[in-house]
Amino acid sequence: MTVFRQADLFFGVVQIYDRATGLLHAELAWSSDGERWDMLPKHPALLAVGAPGGWDAGMVLLAESPVVVGDELRFYYGGFALPHDTKQENVGAIGLALAERDRWLGMNLRTREAGTILTRPFAPRGGRLTVNAGIHGRLAAELRTDNNKPVAGFALADCDPVTETGFARELRWKGRSLGECPEKEVRVLFRPEEAELFTFALNPAPTR
């Protein structure tokens, strides 16, 4: 498994060898501390082998970490036409797989009804709250105190919802940013409606 750091998580690319077929593909793992790792229960491929007869139909091996170019992640990988256990000459080549930045995993709803996602508590420390989200409807949020009560002026009813897809859309409450919240520690209750939340971030306020 190759490991690289992205935001506040470690990500691992696990090489999976299928002994029955000899094929080798890549799956995703992640960890907050580099010791305890999680994977998706259905084990989808992060990068699957190519179509039968293709130059990468037998094995794919990703480079150690992706290259970030704007809002795009570029994964360079080695591909081989034949399975790992072949006794024939297996000529390799270099391929490129593209993905949207920081959209490894997302949380969305199975229905069109609104749902909620509650974060762990954290210190606001001024600045702005931005989300990386795919929006078909809207995404709203409220700030909650350490005893899980809505912060006055930062409730769902006060939120200016995000209605457009973006990698860093700011959430505000009647024009006010996260940095204007008076609490020393808050939780965020996200309320997506036909929206997929990938990441959220605390960003410093713009300088003037």
| CATH of residue 134 | 2.60.40
Residue 147 lies in a domain: yes
pLDDT digits (tens, 9 = 90+) for 132-143: 999 999 999 999
At residue 206 the predicted structure's pLDDT band, cuts being 50, 70 and 90, is low
Task: Indicate if 177 and 121 belong to the same structural domain.
Answer: yes
Task: Indicate if 34 and 91 belong to the same structural domain.
Answer: yes
Residue 189 lies in a domain: yes
pLDDT digits (tens, 9 = 90+) for 148-174: 899 999 999 999 999 999 999 999 999
Task: Indicate if 96 and 6 belong to the same structural domain.
Answer: yes
Task: Indicate if 9 and 87 belong to the same structural domain.
Answer: yes
pLDDT at 108: 81
Count the domains in the chain. 2
pLDDT digits (tens, 9 = 90+) for 99-113: 998 888 888 877 777
Task: Indicate if 32 and 78 belong to the same structural domain.
Answer: yes
pLDDT > 90? residue 47: yes
Residue 111 lies in a domain: no
Tell me, what amino acid is at 85? D
Q: Which residue, 96, 73, 27, is CA-closest to 167? A: 73
pLDDT at 62: 92
- Expressed as residue numbers, the domain containing 84 is 2-100
Task: Indicate if 157 and 78 belong to the same structural domain.
Answer: no
pLDDT digits (tens, 9 = 90+) for 9-28: 899 999 999 999 999 999 99
Residue 109 lies in a domain: no
**128, burial (CB in 10 Å: exposed 0-12, middle 13-18, buried 19+):** middle
Task: Indicate if 95 and 129 belong to the same structural domain.
Answer: no
User: Would the pTM count as exceeding 0.75?
Assistant: yes
- Residue 139 tokens read as 């995404």
pLDDT digits (tens, 9 = 90+) for 62-102: 988 899 999 999 999 999 999 999 999 998 999 999 999 88
Q: Residue 157, SS3? A: helix
For the segment 34-39, the average pLDDT, to the nearest whole number, is: 95
Residue 140 lies in a domain: yes
At residue 45 the predicted structure's pLDDT band, cuts being 50, 70 and 90, is very high
Q: What is the mean pLDDT of the chain?
A: 91
Rounded Cα–Cα distance for residues 39 and 92 (Å): 28
